[in-house]
Structure formats: C-alpha cells, structure tokens
Amino acid sequence: MILNPIQASLKELAQALGTKAISSVELTTLFLDRSERLNPTLNAFITLDRDKTLAMARAADVRLATGETGPLLGIPLAYKDIFCMEGWLTTCASKMLANFVSPYDAHVVEQFKKAGMVTLGKCNMDEFAMGSSTENSFYGPAKNPWDVRRVPGGSSGGSAVAIAARLAPAATGTDTGGSIRQPAALCGLTGIKPTYGVVSRYGMIAFASSLDQGGPMAKSAEDCALLLGAMAGFDPRDSTSLQRPAEDYRRSLEKPLDGLRIGLPKEFFCAGMSDDVRSAVDAALGEYRKLGARTIEVSLPNSGLSVPAYYVIAPAEASSNLSRFDGVRYGYRAPDYSDLADMYCKTRAQGFGAEVKRRILIGTYVLSHGYYDAYYLQAQKVRRLIANDFAEAFKHCDIIASPTTPNVAFEIGSKSSDPVQMYLSDIYTTSANLAGLPGLSIPCGFGAGNMPVGLQLIGNYFDEARMLNLAHRYQQATDWHLRMPEEL
C-alpha cells in the first residue's frame, strides 16, 4: 500500500490501484470515512451517498481485476453540485432545486464514468454559482480548512475545501468569472479554467452561458492535466462545444522554460493588491526567472472595465437562464398561492436567495427596453476591447501572469453587507472569461494569517498544455502545492 493515500498524486493512486496495492473500495472508503468525520465542520459536501459511491468503487475493482488499466480508473472524485448526475440530488446549493434528482448525466460526468472514476459526492457552492465566497448557499457556507473562520472562495468553494482538507483527491468546478481559480488560490490548490468551448456545458446548470466553463481542481498541475484530458471533448448536445482533436495535456509538462516570455500586465501590479500577496507573487516570478523564463511588462488597458462589464453581461444571461425555475415543471413550488401569476411570484421569491434575486433584477434591468443599448450593448463592446488587449499582449509574450486574488481569504460575513467589495474579489480573473481564454491558478506561498496565496497564469486560446507546463515546472521546484492544514 502507498505510504499516504490522502497525500498521493493521481498518478501514484493509479499505480497503487494497478498493482493491487490498494483496491478502489479501500481507497474510496478512506475518503468517505474522512469526509463523514470532517464534513460537519467544513460543510464541503451537500450530498454524500456511501452506498452509491461504494457500488461504483466495486464496479471499478471489477474492471481492474480484468486487467483493464487507465490513469483515472478507480480513483474517487467529487463534483460541484452544478453538474447533473443521474439518480443524485443536483441542487445548485439552492432551495429552488433542493428536491431535484437528475434523470441524466452531464457530459463531464459521462466522461469521468467512462474513465472509471468513482463519485464521492456533490460539493457545496454559491447558489447557482453566483458568488465569490460560498456564503450564498442555501446549505450554509463552506469553511476554509486553513482557518474555518474564513471563506474558501467561490463559487466552487465546496470543491476547493474537499481537496484542501483531503476529503477528495480531486474535484470538478465551474468558472464563470473566476470560480475555479479564486477558490483554488484561497485554499492552496491548482485549478484550471480551459478555453471556452473545450469542456461541454451539457448538464452543467447554466448561470451565464457565454462565460461558464467547467474545469478540474486538484493538488497539482499534473493531476489537473490528467483530469482535463478526460473532461474535454466535443459534445453535439452543446452548441458551444468545439470540435477539436483530442489532446494529451501532459505532453509538455517536462519541457524546459528557457526563453519563455512571461507578460506582467502593469494594470494588475498596482494599487489594490495587498503587500503579502505581492510578496508571494514576486517570489514566484523570481523562481520562474531561475527556471529560465524571462518577465516583460505588457499592458491590458481595458482590464479595469472587466468587472463592470462582467456584472452587466453575467446577470443579463442569468436573468434569462433562471426564468425556467418557476415552480411549474420541477423544483420548488410555493405551497400557497391564489393563481398562476401568484405561484410564479411566490415560488421565485421563496426559492431564490438574496444574491440570485439581485442578479436577476440587474440582468432584467439591463436587458429592458431603453437600457439595452446603454448597458448590455456597451458591455459587449467592452468585452471585445478586452479580448483585443489580450491578443495584442500575446504578440509580445507567451503567457500572462498575475495574482489570482488581491487578498488572502477573508472572514466569513465580513463582506456580506457590501456586494461591490465581494465582486472585486474577481478583479484579476473576470477578464479571461470575457475573452474566452484559459486561466490557471497555482499556490505560490502564504500571506497574512498563514493563508494561501495563488499565482494566476493566463494563456492564449487552446494553450492549456503550455500553462500546465509552467505550473508543473514551478511545482517541481517548490512544495507549496503539497502543504495541507496541520489540524487535519
């Protein structure tokens, strides 16, 4: 048996399973036991189902016993509770879907089932993925395992907590404005948002359709490369899914970084970043220079408009996507109403949380007659300018680096009364979503309160393999990604 399964990489777990040093049932039971012990404190999982999970593990062991091999076969995985999974509750952390059992699998779930991965459970999140702290959950906030008084980030906060606390070796997340990268940074993990369209959105409950993208979260870049290889792929059921040849995202992991140009946007390295984050990021960039890369200054002149543009476009799309939750077909329905219109009003008033209502109202407003041109159309023009800025910057560099977040994780409740301050947590991440570019966060040190700091890497379209190469070489030279909260 391997020395410590909860600390092992996916490659090490696959080797142990392949040599029969451990069975999938034994490995899965270890993570289930740990989850059941720690989840009441951390609130990482919304749904755990030991019987269903162990049935999948036994099926994986049967496949292994026949001699079948695979880099992910028999390894447990947690899902953000936004991915539909047949026979499992899929709640989106909302009262509106608290009783919804999905009749089908998301494309991502199908892909991982083919690979033989075992579902551990469904992870907590901000309701309908709207938030940056996982405080907007009908099931209560998830708690950062480095300090349970602090947020884990959001909206994929439950997934981040599960990995950081070693309740799961890996998890899925979704990223609409930074919701994989930001919690990865605040919990000391690696998380990647691929190029828009690389991972199918089929069965991934929609927030903002032109921005949402699924991606993996794990301890290391090598683990994420393995997971992304399984997640990615064309899906004809998603009109935005890209038909591209399959990629091995591990192919460039060991490539030297000599001569690689890392662009540092001057707009990101200015006022607003805390000193502890700046110090950790500067040290990481210094490590890259030791590895042979060189850093150059670039400019993204319209990046300051990314948060305002995002908070026009995303709510506009949300107001449309969430109109289907009306109490008629599935999900929550108000118990008392006088007529159909009253049922709609009461169902939506009672079923949605405050942040979801806020975004629906904003989105409906900016799409309304007389305001569409002034707000939504202007935001789409700004989006194009932001994409053009990146295109110009990539003429001078290969990868763009920045902090992932301006500060380390903040205390639960400290920003709840000020939504604008909460929105600014995504100041470095939203621009990649608006441009459709891939982005990645890796741990690069610790800041105030001994809380993790993340370094963000943004690549050109379909440049995930190069981003993972940079992340992997950095992780070979450092051990930040191996650290875990001591009390766990």
Is residue 1 scored above 70 in pLDDT?
no
264 bridge partner residues: 297
Residues contacting residue 159 through CB under 8 Å, at least 6 positions apart? 44, 78, 79, 80, 123, 125, 171, 172, 173, 183, 217
Residue 2: per-residue pLDDT: 55
Residue ranges of domains in the chain, CATH in brackets: 5-260+397-482 (3.90.1300.10)
| 65 has pLDDT over 90 | yes
pLDDT of 254 strictly over 70? yes
Q: Is 80 exceeded by the pLDDT of residue 23?
A: yes
Q: What is the pLDDT of residue 271?
A: 77
Q: What span, in angstroms and rounded, lies between the C-alpha atoms of 193 and 217?
A: 9
Q: What confidence score (pLDDT) does residue 22 get?
A: 96
Two tokens at 303? 């990046």
Burial 185-198 (b: 16+ CB within 10 A, else e): bbbbbbbbbbbbbb
- Tell me the Ramachandran region of residue 203: left when phi exceeds 0, alpha when psi lies from -120 to 50, beta otherwise: left
What are the tens digits of pLDDT across the range 139-175? 999 999 999 999 999 999 999 999 999 999 999 999 9
Peptide bond into 155 cis (omega under 30): yes
Report the chain's mean pLDDT, rounded to a whole number. 96
The pLDDT tens digits for 73-110 are 999 999 999 999 999 999 999 999 999 999 999 999 99
Q: Give the integer Cα–Cα distance in Å for 226 and 228.
A: 6
First to last CA, the chain: 21
Q: Are strands 170-174 and 261-265 parallel, antiparallel or unpaired?
A: unpaired
**Ranges 8-17, 402-411, 416-425: which has the least confidence:** 416-425
**pLDDT value at 375 more than 70:** yes
Q: Has this prediction a pTM greater than 0.95?
A: yes
| Percentage of the chain modeled with pLDDT above 70 | 99
Which two three-digit tokens encode residue 212?
Answer: 């949402």
Phi first, then psi: give them for residue 7, nearest 5 degrees: -100, -10
Residue 326 phi, psi dihedral angles, 5° rounding: -130, 5
Res. 234 pLDDT band, cuts 50 70 90: very high
What is the rounded CA–CA span in Å between residue 322 and residue 128?
9
Q: pLDDT, tens digit, for every residue of 414-449?
A: 998 888 888 888 999 999 999 999 999 999 999 999
Q: Which amino acid is at 167?
A: L
Got the DSSP string for 185-211? HHHT-EEEEPPTTSS--TTB--S-TTT
Please list the active-site residues. Answer: 80, 155, 179
Express as a percent the part of the chain with pLDDT over 90. Answer: 95
The rounded distance, in Å, linking the Cα atoms of 442 and 189 is 6
Cβ(404)–Cβ(185) under 8 Å? yes
